[in-house]
Structure 1
Amino acid sequence: MNNRNRGKNTGDDILFGSDKQMEKLKMAAQDMLYLLSRDYSEKASSELVGNRYKLKTRQIQALRGASASEKQIGNRKSNRLEISDLKGRVLYLDGFNVLIVMESLLSGAYIFEGLDGCFRDLSGVHGTYKRVNQTLRAVELVASFFHKAGIRKLVWIFDKPVSNSGRIKQIILDFAVENNLNWEAGLEYNPDKFLAENSEIAVSSDAWILDNCKNWFNLIQYLITEEKLDVNLVRMF
Structure 2
Amino acid sequence: MPDRRQNRGAHPKDAACFATAQVPVLRRACDELSWLLSRGYSDVASLKLVGDRHKLRLRQRKALQRCAVAEEKRVARRAREVAPAAIAGRRVLIDGYNVLLTVEAALAGAVVLRGRDDNLRDLAAMSSHYRRVRQTRPAIDRIGRWLARWRPEETIWFLDRPISNSGRLAGWLAEAAAAHAWPWRVRLVPNPDPILIAAAGEPAGDVVATADGGILDHGPPWLALARHVVEASVPDAWVVDLSAGGAGRSEA
TM-score range, shorter chain: over 0.9
Letter in 2 for 1:131: R
Aligned to 2:178: 177
Aligned to 1:47: 48
Please identify runs of 4+ aligned residues in structure 1 that moved more than 6 A: none
Contiguous gaps of at least 5 residues in structure 1:
none
* 1:54 to partner: Cα distance: 1.0
Aligned to 2:123: 122
1:221 to 224, 227, 240: 227
Q: Distance in 1 between matches of 2:234 and 2:127?
A: 30
The reply on whether 1:203 has 2:209 as its aligned counterpart is yes
For residues 134-149 of structure 1, the aligned pairs below 5 Å read: 134-149=135-150
Letter in 2 for 1:210: L
For residues 153-168 of structure 1, the aligned pairs below 5 Å read: 153-168=154-169
Aligned to 1:187: 188
Q: Distance in 1 between matches of 2:125 and 2:195?
A: 20
Aligned to 1:17: 19
Asked if the contact 2:159–2:189 (Cα under 8 Å) also holds between the matched residues in 1, the reply is yes
What's the TM-score once normalised by structure 1's chain length?
0.95
Q: Distance in 1 between matches of 2:111 and 2:229?
A: 16
Letter in 1 for 2:6: R
TM-align CA RMSD: 1.4
* 1:222 to partner: Cα distance: 1.5
Asked if the contact 1:83–1:149 (Cα under 8 Å) also holds between the matched residues in 2, the reply is yes
Q: Distance in 1 between matches of 2:134 and 2:235?
A: 17
Secondary structure at the residue paired with 1:76? helix
The reply on whether 1:61 has 2:62 as its aligned counterpart is yes
* 1:169 to partner: Cα distance: 0.9
Secondary structure at the residue paired with 2:112? strand
Check 1:213–1:157 CA distance in 2 against 1; reply closer, same or farther (3 A cut): farther
What's the TM-score once normalised by structure 2's chain length?
0.89
* 1:3 to partner: Cα distance: 6.4
Asked if the contact 1:100–1:124 (Cα under 8 Å) also holds between the matched residues in 2, the reply is no
Q: Distance in 2 between matches of 1:3 and 1:70?
A: 38
Secondary structure at the residue paired with 1:81? coil
For residues 28-47 of structure 1, the aligned pairs below 5 Å read: 28-47=29-48
